[in-house]
A and B are shown apart, each in its own frame.
Chain A
Amino acid sequence: AQRVTQPEKLLSVFKGAPVELKCNYSYSGSPELFWYVQYSRQRLQLLLRHISRESIKGFTADLNKGETSFHLKKPFAQEEDSAMYYCALLNYGQNFVFGPGTRLSVLP
């Protein structure tokens, strides 16, 4: 069955430190993976998607099919990165399967 796991509910780092939010998935087929972010009092919004290989706000994520992972990384965290991050898998081109989310807290 399609599933997305994010092992950390909460991740705290200091400003300027590297950050990695973990995401693993299980999917029978060629996966399409996304990271969505929800800042305080804002709606869920797309951060990045693996298919476009982009870097948004300094974040990158590489799809590792061998490890079935799609970890989100940023070399130097900023306070404004504090938010809820959701890893998501597109289920056969239709609905998303979301992970439980990781709350990132960047401390000054």
Chain B
Amino acid sequence: NAGVMQNPRHLVRRRGQEARLRCSPMKGHSHVYWYRQLPEEGLKFMVYLQKENIIDESGMPKERFSAEFPKEGPSILRIQQVVRGDSAAYFCASSPRDRTLYNEQFFGPGTRLTVL
């Protein structure tokens, strides 16, 4: 099992462009979580998805950000019209179901987004 995969690992965008971040969960996992880490801060929850459903997007900025987890393919975090404040590390985590015995989430290596 290769673990949670994220690509790209590094992404550079100019202000106003779109950023697409991809996350492939571990095999057999149907729950995906996105977190953002700003410099000098901890990870902050953004959105929780199951296949074809957004379960909780309470941590997602209301504008420019969207996420999906289609029936086939990876989960996508999309940021439209990026601004410098979007520069951060974006982490994806997956779990086999929402309430495992120990509620563990497995993290990907992260995508570091830099907005010029």
Contact = CB atoms under 8 A, between A and B. Distances in A.
A86 B42 contact: yes
Contacts of A101: 42
Chain A's interface size range is: 20 to 34
Interface residues of B, number: 25
Contact of A96 (B3, B56, B105): B105
Contact of A94 (B43, B44, B55, B91): B55
A91 B99 CA distance: 12
A44 B107 contact: yes
A25 interface: no
B36 to A, nearest CB: 11
A97 B45 contact: yes
Given A43-B108, A49-B104, A94 B98 contact: yes
Contacts of A90: 103
Interface string A66-95: 000000000000000000001000110111
9 contacts: A9-B40, A36-B107, A52-B102, A90-B103, A95-B33, A95-B35, A97-B45, A98-B35, A98-B42
